[in-house]
Structure 1
Amino acid sequence: MDRLVKADTKEVEMIFLKGQKCSSSFKLTNLMHTMSVAVSLTTTNSSLFSINKPFSTIPPLSTASYKLQLSQPSDQPPLSDPPDAITVRATMLPTGKATAADLRRFFSKPGPHVFRDAVLTVSLVGPHVAEFLISQTPQSRNLFAKSISACTKPQLMRLLKPAVECGSTDAVADLLNAGADATATTESLMPLAIRVGNLHAVKLLEASGCKIDGSSLHEAAAMDRIDAMEFLLARYDGELDVDAVDSEGRTAIHVAAREGHARVIQFCVAMGGNPNRVDSKGWTPLHYAAWKGHVKAAECLLECSNVKCARDREGRTAFSVAAESEHEQSHARTRLVDLLGWGDALLRAVRVDDVHGVKKCLGEGVSVNGRDQNGWTPLHWAAFKGRIKSLKVLLEHGAEVETVDDAGYTPLHCAAQAGHLQVALYLIAHGASQPNLKSFPHLAHPFQNHSFTLI
């Protein structure tokens, strides 16, 4: 005979509950027709699991029930790999009766009279186990699949949110395959998956019928996830608008500007997004970039929009917002103020030779080498307009003499082109290289009657 008793299961599943006493039952049947058997039950980890009847007697062809208990309540399931197990040993009992001491003595001496009839795996299952496994890295997919096998459909649905939050794509897939309905949850899971940055989970949820709306694009823009935006716009071409607005009238470009994601701004504009759009309080994306101190986002918006002078409902331009901002990065604030407003004020002061205005702007922290849309610095303008007094102030404050504009012209070229000899001589005296007449033949006239040599 191979064995004396038979278990009703190969695996004892125990539903684990946080902080509560947990137990599970199983049965053993005596296979002998005429003789009772004695049974010994031991667990791999006796400090964790106990059995109500570690030693017992089962009459011929009878069945006995046993209870496996978790010794101490716990907030975390005591999982192990390999899993804990119950070893079932049996021996024939001709007399049919024996005391507990007799049974303990029978099994304390190994030999051919003792049969090892079964090893029952102990599995902790249920939503509390699944939730614990979701939070683990790396995650055992086999244990997770086992844990959710004992979950009800509402429990499966409640587990979807933590699975998405933890970025566990395998857990999301297993829950959906087990019957979780992503469309029946009270909270939209799609923005959450995008916020976590899990594009695979986004695709799984979308395939399961999870709702897609403009807020999904906003979440992707906030997280700098161009890949998610590309997927959503391609999947819902014609249905999802890149300029979809939230409850405050903000588009994905507003969100990207607020977070400082210049790449997302460029992507949205390339997809037809409107960088000039205003939200419910009259703010353009440029207002948000200025408010948050995002220089690169502001530069990007200035290249693709014409809202530098746009005013919100309180009459403030992006320059005003930047000037009022108490952003912690003072350098960024100064750069934005220069970019959005003071730089223009400096150029205006230079053009009219307002020396007091030039000094005021420079005192406010404006970059002396800031550029306009053509790459001209204040020194280019001073040279072109022949504003010698302003030019001197600029040079005293560190203006770069050899800076070239978008066409490759230096301030000296501008002075020569406009015929301002005194300015040209002053620039040369301060390190400017003389213009090459072969490259700029039309600039030669102001220098023809003077003693210095053109190179």
Structure 2
Amino acid sequence: MDRLVEADVKGIELVFIKGQKSSATFTLTNLMHTMSVAVSLSTKTPSLFSFHQPFSLLPPLSSSPYTLLSLPSDQPPLTDAITVKTSMVPLGKATLDDLRRRFSKPGPHIFNDATLPISFLGPHVIEHLISTNTQASDINLFFNKAISGCSGNQLTVLLKSAAVAGKADLVRSLIDHGGDVNHKDSNGRSLVSLAAEAGHLDVVNVLISSGCEIDNSIDHVFHYAAAINSVDLMDALFRAYKNTNSIDSVDFHGRSPIHISAIHGYIQVVRFCLSVGASPDVLDINKCTPLHLAAKGGHLDTVECLLELSNYTKYALNKQRKTAFALAVENDCSKVYDSLHLGDVLNRAARVGDVNGIKSCIGEGANVNGKDQNGWTPLHRAAFKGKLESVRVLLGYGGEVNVVDDNGYTPLHCAAEAGHVEVALLLIGHGAKANLKSLKGMGMEIALKSNCSKNHR
């Protein structure tokens, strides 16, 4: 005989509620025609389960109900089962103590008659899956059983939790089972907004592909992506929502995503924003440009990137009538001084021949080889104006003699075109490559394009 008793179910289902008891009833039937059968019921975790009748005696061909009680717990035991052991009782009589002794020792008289898997249903089970690091294969198994105990509203609440927790597989499953992908939280924010704020790109992609919509006035998704320095997230959001103008939207401080990335010095995010059309000159409620905020934080790469796109912003005044340079000074961010101010002062000193000014600027941190918007260095300016001593000082501080501007011209070209022979000879003496096309008298003029100095006089 394969077994002595038969269960009326193949498994047990319990609705799990944190901190509360739950129960389920099943029936066992004695298959023996002439002999009573002793029954023992147990689980892998006896601290979480109990039975109304852990030991019992079934007369021939009789049936009896049994109740499994789940004791209060904060989390469900995801893998457990009822083990049904049996033993024949020829005399048909046995006390409870007799039954305990009978099953206390293994032997051929004991049959492992059935194993009934225990499954938990309801939202608290899925909450547990969301909050733990359960393996994906196990999540699918437990989820598919637990979902039958959830209502539509519960699925949507769970969907929000899964999105925030970054459980992309659960997000997808909850949507497939009826979770509302366009649910809004109490502040009116979308699920995409919540997932983006938490930095979960995979969840954002699932929500986007499922048709999740955003409200540009509330869902500052690009701001969240900028704040965590995620270009990949920015790109996914832009491809999905580029028609909503979110890249230029502002938060409660009047700041756009490029402001946010400038605050942190996230240069790659700044570049992405600029590449898709974000304005580098936008003002927040304090009339600060992104350059103001990057300068305040001392983020040199970001400062230089923003200056490349808009030179005039370095002179823009915020609500307190302060430039980006002033904010950098207030916050002791000396490494951005040159880009924001000292470079301008150094160029002026080179142009007018102010040797002491040149030395002072370089001493304060100005870049001797810093270029202006046309690619001219201080050495270009001093050479073009024939300021011999300025050229000498700049060379002494490491000025690059063969540096070229945006049109490919060196300081020597500038000196030669303007007819400054002594300056040209000094530059050549320091290694300047003459590469002269023509020499005309004392002026030693070089044949150059007519616009070499158009913007530098």
What TM-score range do you get, normalising by the shorter chain?
Answer: 0.7 to 0.9
What residue is the counterpart of 1:436 in the other structure?
A: 435
Match of 1:101 among 94, 97, 101: 97
Distance 1:220 1:104, change over 3 A: same
How many angstroms apart in 2 are the aligned matches of 1:443 and 1:93? 127
Query: For 1:321, what is the secondary structure of its paired residue?
Result: helix
1:138 Cα deviation after fit: 4.0
1:91 and 2:87 aligned = yes
1:64 Cα deviation after fit: 2.5
How many angstroms apart in 2 are the aligned matches of 1:233 and 1:69? 49
Distance 1:443 1:260, change over 3 A: farther
How many angstroms apart in 2 are the aligned matches of 1:75 and 1:443? 94
1:320 and 2:326 aligned = yes
Q: Which consecutive unaligned segments of at least 5 residues does structure 2 have? A: 446-457
1:195 and 2:194 aligned = no
What residue is the counterpart of 2:289 in the other structure?
A: 284
How many angstroms apart in 1 are the aligned matches of 2:21 and 2:249? 51
In structure 2, what residue type is equivalent to 1:98? A
In structure 2, what residue type is equivalent to 1:167? G
In structure 1, what residue type is equivalent to 2:405? D
Distance 1:447 1:185, change over 3 A: closer
What residue is the counterpart of 1:309 in the other structure?
A: 315
What residue is the counterpart of 1:170 in the other structure?
A: 169
Q: Which consecutive unaligned segments of at least 5 residues does structure 1 have? A: 327-332, 449-455
How many angstroms apart in 2 are the aligned matches of 1:266 and 1:318? 19
1:338 Cα deviation after fit: 0.8
Distance 1:325 1:444, change over 3 A: farther
In structure 1, what residue type is equivalent to 2:422? Q
In structure 1, what residue type is equivalent to 2:226? A
Distance 1:28 1:16, change over 3 A: same
Q: After superposition, what is the alpha-carbon deviation per residue over 1:394-440, rounded to whole angstroms, capped at 9, x for unaligned? A: 233332333232333332232222222222233334x22340113xx
How many angstroms apart in 2 are the aligned matches of 1:288 and 1:301? 11
In structure 2, what residue type is equivalent to 1:281? N
Distance 1:172 1:304, change over 3 A: same
Query: For 1:201, what is the secondary structure of its paired residue?
Result: helix
Alignment of 1:168-247 (within 5 A): 168-182=167-181, 183-186=183-186, 187-208=189-210, 210-214=212-216, 215-236=220-241, 238-247=243-252
What residue is the counterpart of 2:412 in the other structure?
A: 412
Match of 1:110 among 107, 126, 140: 107
Distance 1:400 1:184, change over 3 A: closer
Distance 1:23 1:442, change over 3 A: farther
In structure 2, what residue type is equivalent to 1:247? F
Distance 1:5 1:166, change over 3 A: same
TM-score relative to the length of structure 2 = 0.82
How many angstroms apart in 2 are the aligned matches of 1:181 and 1:381? 65
How many angstroms apart in 1 are the aligned matches of 2:185 and 2:146? 21
Distance 1:162 1:384, change over 3 A: same
Matched-pair contact (CA < 8 Å) for 1:7–1:26? no
What residue is the counterpart of 1:274 in the other structure?
A: 279
Matched-pair contact (CA < 8 Å) for 1:14–1:22? no
1:446 and 2:443 aligned = yes
How many angstroms apart in 2 are the aligned matches of 1:273 and 1:190? 21
Residue-pair matches, total: 432
What residue is the counterpart of 2:346 in the other structure?
A: 346
Identity of aligned residues (%): 48
What residue is the counterpart of 1:453 in the other structure?
A: none
Query: For 1:247, what is the secondary structure of its paired residue?
Result: coil
1:392 and 2:398 aligned = no
In structure 2, what residue type is equivalent to 1:300? C
How many angstroms apart in 2 are the aligned matches of 1:395 and 1:110? 99
Matched-pair contact (CA < 8 Å) for 2:30–2:36? no
1:98 Cα deviation after fit: 0.8
Q: After superposition, what is the alpha-carbon deviation per residue over 1:106-132, rounded to whole angstroms, capped at 9, x for unaligned? A: 444533x65433101234555454344
Query: For 2:247, what is the secondary structure of its paired residue?
Result: coil
RMSD of equivalent CA atoms: 3.2
How many angstroms apart in 2 are the aligned matches of 1:148 and 1:301? 51
How many angstroms apart in 2 are the aligned matches of 1:36 and 1:12? 25
Query: For 2:408, what is the secondary structure of its paired residue?
Result: coil
In structure 1, what residue type is equivalent to 2:171? V
1:207 Cα deviation after fit: 5.0
1:423 and 2:423 aligned = yes
Distance 1:323 1:416, change over 3 A: same
How many angstroms apart in 2 are the aligned matches of 1:445 and 1:374? 29
1:293 and 2:260 aligned = no
1:212 Cα deviation after fit: 0.9
Q: After superposition, what is the alpha-carbon deviation per residue over 1:30-65, rounded to whole angstroms, capped at 9, x for unaligned? A: 244775432012333556655453321234533222
How many angstroms apart in 1 are the aligned matches of 2:422 and 2:209? 73
What residue is the counterpart of 2:26 in the other structure?
A: 27
In structure 2, what residue type is equivalent to 1:437? L
How many angstroms apart in 1 are the aligned matches of 2:106 and 2:259? 79
What residue is the counterpart of 2:455 in the other structure?
A: none
Matched-pair contact (CA < 8 Å) for 2:259–2:289? yes
What residue is the counterpart of 1:370 in the other structure?
A: 370
Query: For 2:82, what is the secondary structure of its paired residue?
Result: strand
1:162 Cα deviation after fit: 3.9
Q: After superposition, what is the alpha-carbon deviation per residue over 1:74-120, rounded to whole angstroms, capped at 9, x for unaligned? A: 655555xxx33222122344544311232234444533x65433101
Q: After superposition, what is the alpha-carbon deviation per residue over 1:325-353, rounded to whole angstroms, capped at 9, x for unaligned? A: 24xxxxxx334211111111111122112
Q: After superposition, what is the alpha-carbon deviation per residue over 1:270-304, rounded to whole angstroms, capped at 9, x for unaligned? A: 43332222122111122222222222222222222
What residue is the counterpart of 1:452 in the other structure?
A: none
Query: For 1:313, what is the secondary structure of its paired residue?
Result: coil
How many angstroms apart in 2 are the aligned matches of 1:383 and 1:443? 19
What residue is the counterpart of 1:383 in the other structure?
A: 383
In structure 2, what residue type is equivalent to 1:321? L
Alignment of 1:112-151 (within 5 A): 114-124=110-120, 126-134=122-130, 135-136=132-133, 138-139=135-136, 140-141=138-139, 142-151=141-150
1:189 Cα deviation after fit: 2.4
Distance 1:342 1:154, change over 3 A: same
1:250 Cα deviation after fit: 1.9
